[in-house]
Amino acid sequence: MWRLPRNSLPLRMNIQRRGMPLDTRCPVCMRLDEDGGHCFLKCKFVKHGWLDLQLEPVRQKLLPKASAWEVIQEILNLKKDECLKTVILLWRWWDVRNKLNKGERGLSRDGFMADVLRLMGELGHKEKQMLERPANVQQK
């Protein structure tokens, strides 16, 4: 999330802009040039993740943003659960994209969705434990 608005992710368009000649097409769909907007919001495969996780309204809010900074600001202004789910979706999608970029096998559509939901559940459980801990300490 920190690297996205600083345009420092090794997306193919960023790499080419830094002087390395390479095919700039998305390593996932192989259709369009890979920049941040395509990778995280427009690639036909990532769109399925947004839909499956019921985050399509969030994606629609992000699409017209003029910069990655605006996208990040919009994400951080979402309700807590939507923000968390969006951040996890983007993080996990980056991992899937990197595996596919290296020629490895990525997660299936169902596996991707299950992984995001599992991580959300784990974080929610950890948060609950942290909130309960002070109460437990006071009771002793």
Query: pLDDT tens across 76-103, in order?
Result: 999 999 999 999 999 999 999 999 999 9
Domain that holds residue 30: 12-139
Angstrom distances, CA of residue 41 to CA of 27, 63, 101, 121: 15, 7, 17, 24
Residue 102 resides in a domain: yes
- The residue-averaged pLDDT of 6-21 equals 90
Residue 7 resides in a domain: no
Contact 1, 9 (CB under 8 A): no
- The residue-averaged pLDDT of 129-139 equals 63
Whether 136 shows a pLDDT value over 80: the answer reads: no
Residue 44 resides in a domain: yes
Q: Give the global pTM.
A: 0.84
Query: pLDDT tens across 21-53, in order?
Result: 999 999 999 999 999 999 999 999 999 999 999
Residue 5 resides in a domain: no
Residue 91 resides in a domain: yes
Residue 86 CA to residue 98 CA, distance in Å, equals 18
Contact 36, 68 (CB under 8 A): yes
Whether 140 shows a pLDDT value over 60: the answer reads: no
Q: What is the largest distance, in Å, between two alpha-carbon atoms of the chain?
A: 64
pLDDT value at residue 114: 92
Q: Of the spans 7-16, 65-74, 100-109, which averages the highest pLDDT?
A: 65-74
Summary mean pLDDT of the chain? 90
Contact 42, 108 (CB under 8 A): no
Residue 108 resides in a domain: yes
Residue 3 resides in a domain: no
Residue 41 resides in a domain: yes
Contact 53, 113 (CB under 8 A): yes
Give how many domains the chain has, as a whole number: 1
